[in-house]
Chains A and B, each alone.
Chain A
Amino acid sequence: MDRNNLIKWLKEPKKMGNKYSLWAVYFSTACGVIEVPPVLTSRWDAERFGVIPVATPRQANLFLITGYVTTKTLKAIIRTYEQMAEPKYTIGFGSCPINGGMYWDSYNTIKHLDKFIPVDGWIAGCMPRPEAIFIGVTKLWGMIDKGLATGYIRYREHYDYYRGNQERLFGSMEWPPLYSLKEGTHDE
């Protein structure tokens, strides 16, 4: 442990704990799955950064969306995201979740992921190198430090917007709303 961080640890232990134990959902949506295993295993060893894969979304708080998102995958993504415990952070990995990438005129992939679930950060590229995940993670540390990684709070506060967009795409949803659909009913 860096001694310079000792003050931070004593001042805000919760924040520091969140920072250094980013447990990732091993849910790979598309071609980005090629990049994730070497990151998690010994070649690049993400455990140096506190990122480990976990078995279930209920234990995780980092969600990497790797690659294009079809409407069917989006359903699974929303379910996974809603199951995760707070605080939860989402990173869009690759150009496809950002604006559609090479699938910009495809009939079955969504173009902007952040219209359906909140995304804290993006890693651009097609595909990004595995090192880019670490750059993303370290940026996320900075964001957590400054209190900017508030995607999950945004999801709770503006749930009517996100749920509305999801329902607009899917027609009807198979599961009930996670939060109240009225605004400003959360408590924090």
Chain B
Amino acid sequence: MNDMVDLLKSIFKGTDARTLGENRLSVTTPGESVLAVLDYLKASGFYQLKSISCVDWIDDNEFELVYHVASLERPLHIMVKTRIDRDKPVFPTAMSIFKNAGIFEREMHELFGVMFEGNPDLNPLFLDNWKDIPPFRKDFDMRKYVKDTYDSIPSFEEYKWQKEN
């Protein structure tokens, strides 16, 4: 595991790698070298992209994209992390390296509003007729949305009472 840390640090400039407990490795890297790191990891046997997740650091005004990469031969789970601007969340797609990145990026686009350039299909996946800001952002007021969307619909009794009076 430590060989991996030294290698990544020496090859990619501005990259910080550290171990998180047993079999877990966290790699923090600037945005422009993410794809290069992923490409390198895939070439060294980590050919499984498990997930892409996103963290909303609203105080820093940044989104953190986390790519979870693993290998079936080596018991090591690598997280490649990068920070992008929250006001203009645009990032290149990783589909050229991992083809299954498309569906994860589609989900992150829907739930956080991160735009992945080069991804051909960013249609909504779960949400239907969504008009508010993406729901997983920290500044999305869930209770207000529920009140406006669901609770404002009158019940049948209310409807009947309104019609009679």
Encode B131-165 as 1/0 by CB contact (under 8 A) with A. Answer: 00001000010110110011101111001000000
With A112-B155, A158-B156, A161-B156 as known contacts, state yes or no: A75 contacts B145, CB within 8 Å.
no
Which of the 9-residue segments A24-32, A49-57, A103-111, A135-143 touches chain B?
Answer: A103-111
By the criterion CB–CB under 8 Å, are B153 and A168 in contact?
A: yes
* Chain A residues numbered 152-188 whose CB sits less than 8 Å from any CB in chain B: 154, 158, 161, 165, 168-171
Which residues does chain B contribute within 8 Å of A168, judged by CB atoms?
153
User: How many B residues, CB 8 Å from partner?
Assistant: 18
Which residues does chain A contribute within 8 Å of B145, judged by CB atoms?
107
- The answer to whether the Cβ of A115 comes within 8 Å of any Cβ in the partner chain is yes
Which residues does chain A contribute within 8 Å of B150, judged by CB atoms?
100, 110-112
Nearest B residue to A112, CB-CB: B155
Which of the 9-residue segments B19-27, B37-45, B57-65, B121-129 touches chain A?
Answer: B121-129
By the criterion CB–CB under 8 Å, are A161 and B159 in contact?
A: yes
Encode A84-102 as 1/0 by CB contact (under 8 A) with B. Answer: 0000000000000000100
- The answer to whether the Cβ of A72 comes within 8 Å of any Cβ in the partner chain is yes
By the criterion CB–CB under 8 Å, are A75 and B153 in contact?
A: no
User: How many A residues, CB 8 Å from partner?
Assistant: 24
With A72-B126, A72-B128, A169-B129 as known contacts, state yes or no: A105 contacts B142, CB within 8 Å.
yes
Which residues does chain B contribute within 8 Å of A114, judged by CB atoms?
155-156
Given A75-B128, A105-B146, A108-B127, 15 other A-B residues pairs in contact with their CB atoms under 8 A: A72-B126, A72-B128, A100-B150, A105-B142, A105-B143, A106-B146, A107-B140, A108-B135, A111-B151, A112-B150, A115-B156, A118-B156, A158-B156, A158-B159, A161-B156
Which residues on A are within 8 Å of B, measured CB to CB?
70-72, 75, 100, 104-108, 110-112, 114-115, 118, 154, 158, 161, 165, 168-171
* Distance between Cα atoms of A72 and B140 in the complex (Å): 21
By the criterion CB–CB under 8 Å, are A165 and B153 in contact?
A: yes
Report the minimal beta-carbon distance from B113 to chain A, rounded to whole angstroms. Answer: 14
By the criterion CB–CB under 8 Å, are B126 and A108 in contact?
A: yes
* Distance between Cα atoms of A169 and B33 in the complex (Å): 43
Residue of A107, A112, A115 most packed against chain B (CB within 10 A): A107
Report the minimal beta-carbon distance from A112 to chain B, rounded to whole angstroms. Answer: 7
* Distance between Cα atoms of A114 and B155 in the complex (Å): 8
Report the minimal beta-carbon distance from B165 to chain A, rounded to whole angstroms. Answer: 16
* Distance between Cα atoms of A115 and B154 in the complex (Å): 7
Nearest B residue to A109, CB-CB: B150
By the criterion CB–CB under 8 Å, are B155 and A170 in contact?
A: no
By the criterion CB–CB under 8 Å, are B128 and A71 in contact?
A: yes
Report the minimal beta-carbon distance from A136 to chain B, rounded to whole angstroms. Answer: 20
Contact residue among B129, B142, B156 (Cβ-Cβ distance under 8 Å from A71): B129
